[in-house]
Amino acid sequence: MSQNSETLTPFQENELKWLRQQVNQLQDNKYKTTKDANLERNLWTARGELNVFVKNLRKAGKKI
């Protein structure tokens, strides 16, 4: 069975979901706690990873 090149593979779907959850969780924690340099850095890193992943999927012709 050939998969449409525009659709995400199950691995890509799971990776995208996990990355989004990481960003959401860190954002929630950021606004619940006081200033925390580690939290800020982790959020910045998670956002960057998500952006790179999405950018590469779109570059590969995936519809997100």
Q: Is residue 4 part of a domain?
A: no
Q: Is residue 64 part of a domain?
A: no
Tell me how far apart the alpha carbons of residues 56 and 50 are, in angstroms, rounded to a whole number.
10
The DSSP 8-state label assigned to residue 8 in this structure reads: P
What was the pLDDT predicted at 3? 56
Tens place of pLDDT per residue across the chain (64 aa): 445 778 999 999 999 999 999 999 999 888 787 677 888 899 999 999 999 999 999 999 998 8
Q: Is residue 46 part of a domain?
A: yes
Q: Is residue 3 part of a domain?
A: no
Question: Positive or negative, the Cα torsion across 16, 19, 24, 25?
Answer: positive
The whole domain housing 47 covers 10-58
Q: Is residue 1 part of a domain?
A: no
What was the pLDDT predicted at 52? 97
Q: Which of these, 58, 47, 41, 1, lies nearest to 24 by C-alpha position?
A: 47
Q: Is residue 24 part of a domain?
A: yes
Q: Which of these, 17, 31, 18, 23, lies nearest to 47 by C-alpha position?
A: 23
Q: Is residue 43 part of a domain?
A: yes
Domain total for the chain? 1
Q: Is residue 36 part of a domain?
A: yes
